[in-house]
Every structure is written in structure tokens, then in C-alpha cells.
Amino acid sequence: MRQSWLPGFPDGAQKVGEGLAILEKDGQAIYFVGGDNYFSHPVGDDAGRRFALTSLMENGHVKAVELERPPLCIPHRTLMNWVGQSRKAGPSSFFRPAAANRPRIMTPDKSAECARLLSEGKRPAEVARQVGVQESTLRKAIRRQGLPQLAPLPQDAGELEAASTKSERSRADAEAAAGMGTACTRADERIQTALGLATGATTRFEASQDVAMGGLLAGLPALCANGLLTGLDRHLKLPRGFYSALHILLVLGFMALGRIKRPEHLRQTSPGELGKVIGLDRVPEVRTLREKIHLLAKTGDPAAWMRDLAKLWMESEPEEAGYLYVDGHVRVYHGEQARLSKRYVSRERLCLRGTTDYWVNDALGRPFFVVSQALNDGLAETLLKDIVPQLLEIVPGQPTPAELDADPTLHRFVMVFDREGATQSLLGRLWKQRIGALTYRKNVKDLWSEDAFQEQEVHLPAGGSTGMKLAMRETRLGTGDSSLAVTEVRRLTQTGHQTAVITTARQLGNTTIAGRMFARWCQENYFAYMMEHYDIDGLLEYGDESLPGTHQVVNPRWRELDKAVRQTRQSERKLQAAIARTALNDGGEIQKNAESVEALQAVQAELKQLCSARKASSRKVTIDSLPEAERPTQLPPLNKMLCDAVKMVAYRAETAMVALLRRHLKKEDDARALIRELFVSSADIEPNALANTLTIKIHRMASPAHDRAIAALLDELTLQDFPHPETGAKMIFALV
């Protein structure tokens, strides 16, 4: 175990994380680990700064997530690039002189030709085609003033043309349908990509007015901050093509925010208008988008990306990661291709075919990750086999083994679930790994004296507080050596009902236990919201896949016998009741009574045979042992896992923007509705290549109060100085 540093940071140093501080003094930037001078370099020495921070990360003195926060605010991708450079090329690579940036393609003759054509008012895309260079190369030359004739111009050449109107774009998109396809106005780039002359489309924003759903760009900073693009090049890749993996992720993220729930719904959306929001001529059509999703899922690792996202979110708020809410949600299947097993759906009060998704959320309802089960083994088995191993790896701030040994009541973190998991077996198995469990107690029959309850103020995880009458006792589940010590808290309602809550995390106070347990409804609200707005139950791919043959399922023969046993027992009870009624009526008709007794004896004999047959039949068998027509299958899991991750990012991004808007609106529901209205609002897009900015002018809302709230939100987004993830242009937001 590494020895922790004693606090000894010098005055004036900026603290970064727990063990690092940076002091700028006398023109030097000095890095302190604890009280030790770790490294120093002149202020403004970018190479020394990159080397120092990379070395600190590699040696475990600081985490990447700590450098992403204030005061440094370094993007996650930048930090990972530094680490990759250090591991691949060595630390000395930071200090190698950069190669001279010589325009090998833009020769003097080509530069002069480009300058002449641009001075005639032609667009950079048209100029690049005539001269025979990539448009991105020409635009880079314009930005660095590599064309002498363009240096005196006050504006970028691309701004000389007026912004296109919606009717002009609609007409151009329709005319393009006669060629390569609707809104395929960048046919040259598509042909170059198809011939292998280009790696993919260049993101390029065009000056446009009244772009439908242009407000989605206001959600881009929140999407990126919540990890939408963190899986690129690590877990998510696409082969060379017009649409890159970044484009597909942006399309999926904007679809989620804009309530375009399935790829098929893109047919009801103007492809050219949504393409302007992405920075392309159009978004992919439905079949292309499905193919790209399939490629991302099959060639990448959506599960690893979801784990990285969960770890990122937990490390950003370690206190909330200490209380994890787990609940199952049945995704009902109405198709006919897959053979899915039935399970009870509480919201329908029926047993229906489907899959069970077990979601892990925080106390505010924000998701961390989801585990899908085609064969439902129940909450307990899923927790122990699939969820707990992941949590042990990614939950931050867990106590060390020495701390756990020193305090037998100390827990790693707390898991909150409903009565389905309130069994001594599950609670005990979780506590063996020192994981606290918080749940309702089942089968409560005794009542505590009302004198034991006291009115107390309970602080809620979502903010605010409420009064509750609470009482707490230490008790045990079970008897003998296998009993389990728990804390029981009861809440007394106005009707006299006592709600019992138990936990193995015995260091928690009664108000904390009550506040955390009664916040479990956040997951129910989350499921309802996600079904309505994000279509988490929707199918993204048709067809089915086989399950591993070693998996065990309920034997269909045993299920038939069990059903027959239950029906026969019901017939037995009816006959016994009929005989009892006859006896109460002074015997009744002797013949009728004799027939009932004879029928009862026949039913009992049949019941005995059925019970023997059921006992002789195995309750569970492997899938391989079943006939081909009876073997259960599963829906393709990877595509859904990828899209679930995107939807979780989108929900967290929306929630983050709601939190910013709540400063200007009283009710959360009003703020969330207004954010949804913002995403589907029209906007004007004004790029400026010379200033390297992208201005998004959102159209007005429905009322002056909403205008003021949205204007304040857009000002906050502008102050973030967020650069577009591909073009690097600073994004500026305003309300017009």
C-alpha cells in the first residue's frame, strides 16, 4: 500500500486532486506531490507541461478525471493522447522539435490560382475542385493566411455569400434527388470516398438561416461532457467511408435529444436540415444508419465503452456513487422471429415474452449502466454474477482491505433494491464482500409502539427535506450461527401504517437510511420517462441469435407437469368443499355424496401420479437437450447495448442542462419541458473560419419568461468556450 503524503502545499499553489498542487512563481511552474517538489518548467513551456502531467498520471499521483476538472479543465481525449504518445514514443517525444509545417500541396502556383478564384466570389468547395486540392487543405491555408492575396480581407472568403434560406435549401435538396440522392449536395466528396481518394466526409458548417432542429447544437457541449465521444478509436471504430464513427455518434446523440426514437423515424425528418446540424450535406438514410450501428457494435466493444462511461460518471461524483439503485425493467417483445421466455410484467400485470434489463442508477435517477438478461435468473443471481463484479472494479473511494479488517461494520458501498432482493441469503452473500444492502423488509407482522417513533427531518438526495416519524432498532435475520445482523428503520405514516426498511450498512443513521430508501422511486420515474421519450423498449435490429447451449432453462416437460399438478389440486379442493357442504346439510343425497367421494379419490390418485412424474422430471435442463423448435433465443444484444449507452449519455446531458436552467425556473418539470423545446427549435448557423467560431442563434421560445431563461442558459454555454469536437471552432450561442 502506497504511503499517503502529509499535507504541505505551499501558499498560493492551486490544488489538483488530493495529492498534487501547482505553483507559478518567478516565471516557473512548480509541481508539488505532497510537500515534495516533483518537477518544474518555465511558465508557457507547453512541452514541459505535457511531460509533467503525463508523468504524474502514469505514476499514479493524479487521475485524468482530476485534470479534467477546474482549475486545469484539460479535455479527456487530450490527456489520453499524451499518455499514448508517452507510451509509444517515450517521454523524450514531448521535447522533440516539431517538423516545419510546409504547405507541400499548396504550391505558389496553386495558391495564386485559389486566391484569384476566391476573389471572384466562388465558394471554397468549388475552388478546391477546380484547382485539384482537398477543401480542408484550402480552408487551412485560408485560416493561416497562406494565400497572400487573401491576407487583407476582413472576413473569411466563405462568408462572402449570403446565408441560405430554408426554401433555397429545400429546393437544392430536391434537385439533388435527380442525381445521387435527396440532399446529396456534396456529390464530389461522396465519389472521392467511394473511390478511396478520401478517408471520409469533412465536417463543414455552412451559413444557414432557419435550420430545423438547430437547437440540438446547444446540447452538444453537454453530450461531449458526458462522454459521447470517449469511446472513439478505443472501443468504437468504423472502416473508411463518407460517414465516420464521430458522425454516427453525433447523429444518434442528436436523435435521442430530438426525440427521433428509431432510425425509421428519420424518414419523417428532412435529411438535409438535420445534416446541416451535423455539418454535412445530409444525415445517413435509414438502411445506412442501421448498417453503421451494426458495424460499430460488431467491430467494437460497446460493453467496454459502457463500463468506461460508468467509471467516468462515478468518478465525477464519488459521493453519489456510494449509493447504487438496482431495479429490473422488462422489455416486452411482440415479434415472432425470436423465441423469448415469459416473465411477469408488473406494469401490465401479465406474464409476457421479453427480456429483463437491470439498470444501475444513482439517487437522482441518472443511469450508470444496464445489464440485459435474455434468460431471467432473478435479481439475486444477476446482482452477484453480472453487476457486483463490475461495481467492485469501478466504484471510487472504496475502503482499503486494512480499513475493512480494522472495522467489521465498515462497508464498501450501498446497493438499494426492492423487496425482491430482501432475502437473508442475498444480503449475507453481499455482506461477505462487504457490500451494504438497503431494502424493504418482507412479511412484517409485528407493530412497534407508536411511542418509539420521533418526528425527524430527513434530507432528500435530490435536495430539500421532509419530516418523517422514524424509529430504529438493531435486529437479526434468521436464527443461529447463520443469522445476519441488520439495522431496521420504520416509518410511521398518518394512517398508522409502519413501513419497515432494513440494511446491513449499520453505520448509517436512521435519517440517511430513510432518505436513501424512499428515493428509490427515482428509478420508476426514470423508466417511465425513458419509455416515453427515449424508447428504451424499441427494437433496433430485427432477427434473433442463439444462446449458449450450456445455459440452463426450465424444462418444458416439468412446467407442463407443474401446471397439471396445480390444476388437479384446485379440482381436489373444489371436491372437498362440495363434500363438506353436503355433510353440513345433514348428509344430503347419499348417491350424490358417494359420487363426489369417488371423484375425489380419482383426483387424488391422479394428483399422486402427477406429483411422482414431476419429481422424476428435472426442473431445469440445458438448452442443447431441448428440441430445436423449443430452444429459446435472444434478440441481438450488441446494437441495443450501443444505443442504450448513447441514450444514457443523452439523458445525462439533458439532466445537466436542466440543472443549469433550474436557476431560472422554479419547477424541474417546467425546466425539462423547456429543454426539450430548445432542442427542437430552429436556429441560424453562422460559421466564421477566420475567427474560428461557430455561432448558433436560437429562435425565440413561446413566452418572455422562457426567453429570459433560455438566454441565460445560452450565455452560460458560451462562457464554457466549448470547441466543436471535429472542426475545433469555438461555439457561441445566442437567442435572436
Amino acid sitting at position 133: V
Q: At what angle do helices 286-299 and 245-257 cross, to 10 degrees?
A: 120
Question: What are 147's three cell numbers?
Answer: 494565400
Q: What are phi and psi of 486, to 5 degrees?
A: -140, 160
Q: How far is CA 86 from CA 48, 75, 82, 89, 218, in A?
A: 13, 17, 6, 6, 35
Residue-level pLDDT at 151? 38
Contact 54, 82 (CB under 8 A): yes
The angle at the Cα of 101, spanning 95 to 105, to the nearest 5 degrees, equals: 150
Residue 155: count of CB within 10 angstroms of its CB: 11
Q: b/e map of 307-326 (b: 16 or more CB within 10 Å)?
A: bbbbbbbbbbeeebbbbbbb
The whole-model pTM stands at 0.76
DSSP, residue by residue, 421-477: G--HHHHHHHHHTT-EEEEEPSS------GGG-EEEEEE-TTS-EEEEEEEEEEEEE
Do the Cβ atoms of 334 and 342 come closer than 8 Å? Answer: no
Tell whether the torsion through CA atoms of 581, 587, 591 and 595 is positive or negative.
Answer: positive
Residue pair 273/282 in contact (Cβ under 8 Å)? The answer is: no
Task: Judge contact between 666 and 698, C-beta under 8 A.
Answer: no
pLDDT digits (tens, 9 = 90+) for 637-661: 888 999 999 999 999 999 999 999 9
pLDDT of 504 reads 95
Contact 228, 253 (CB under 8 A): yes
Q: In the sheet where 28-33 sits, what is the strand order?
A: 14-16, 20-25, 28-33, 36-42
Q: Residue 247 and residue 736: Cα distance in Å, rounded?
A: 28
From the CB of residue 184, how many other CB atoms can be counted at a distance below 10 Å?
20
CB-CB contact of 124 with 150 (8 Å)? no
What pLDDT does 99 receive? 58
What 3-state class would DSSP assign to 490?
Answer: strand
Q: What digits encode the pLDDT tens for the residues 458-489?
A: 998 888 889 999 999 999 988 877 889 999 99
Grid cell for residue 529 = 420517462
Q: Cα–Cα distance between 130 and 204 in angstroms, integer?
A: 19
- How far does CA 504 lie from the centroid of its chain? 29
What are the grid coordinates assigned to 645, written together?
449507452
Under-70 pLDDT residues of the chain? 1-9, 98-104, 120-121, 143-161, 586-591
Q: DSSP characters for 152-181?
A: T-SS-GGGSSPPBPHHHHHHHHHHHTTTTS
DSSP-assigned beta bridge partners for residue 36: 33
How many CB atoms sit inside 10 A of residue 242's CB?
Answer: 21
Supply 171's cell numbers: 429546393
| Closest CA relative to residue 33, chosen from 23, 22, 19, 14 | 19
Instruction: Go through 410-431 and write b for each residue having 16 or more CB atoms within 10 A of its CB, e for each that does not.
Output: ebbbbbbbbeebbeeebbbbbb
**Residues contacting residue 552 through CB under 8 Å, at least 6 positions apart:** 620, 621, 622, 623
- Provide the pLDDT for residue 160: 41
* CB contact at 8 A, 169 and 273: yes
**Pairing mode, strands 552-554 and 620-622:** antiparallel
Which DSSP symbol is given to 259?
T
3-state secondary structure of 734: strand
Before 71, cis peptide (omega within 30)?
A: yes
Q: Are 166 and 210 in contact (CB under 8 A)?
A: yes
What does the alpha-carbon distance between residue 620 and residue 681 come to, in Å, rounded to a whole number? 55
Q: Based on the number of CB atoms within 10 Å of its own CB, is 660 exposed (0-12), middle (13-18) or buried (19 or more)?
A: middle
Q: What angle is formed at CA 427 by the lines to CA 314 and CA 1, rounded to 5 degrees? A: 50
| Burial 702-717, CB ≥16 within 10 A → b, else e | eeeebeebbbebbeeb
d(CA 475, CA 441): 12
CA pseudo-torsion sign 199, 203, 204, 209: positive
**In the numeric block, which cell numbers belong to residue 348?**
401490465
DSSP secondary structure letter of residue 666: S
- CA 297 to CA 637: how far, in whole Å? 9
CA proximity to 208, closest of 697, 725, 717, 727:
697
Q: How far apart are CA 383 and CA 391, in angstroms?
A: 10
Residue 77 phi/psi, 5-degree rounding, is -65, -40
**Identity (one letter) of the amino acid at 298?**
K
Q: Report d(CA 331, CA 641) in Å as an integer.
A: 13
Q: Hey, which residues does 181 pair with through a beta bridge?
A: none
Nearest to 219 by CA among 674, 523, 530, 529: 674
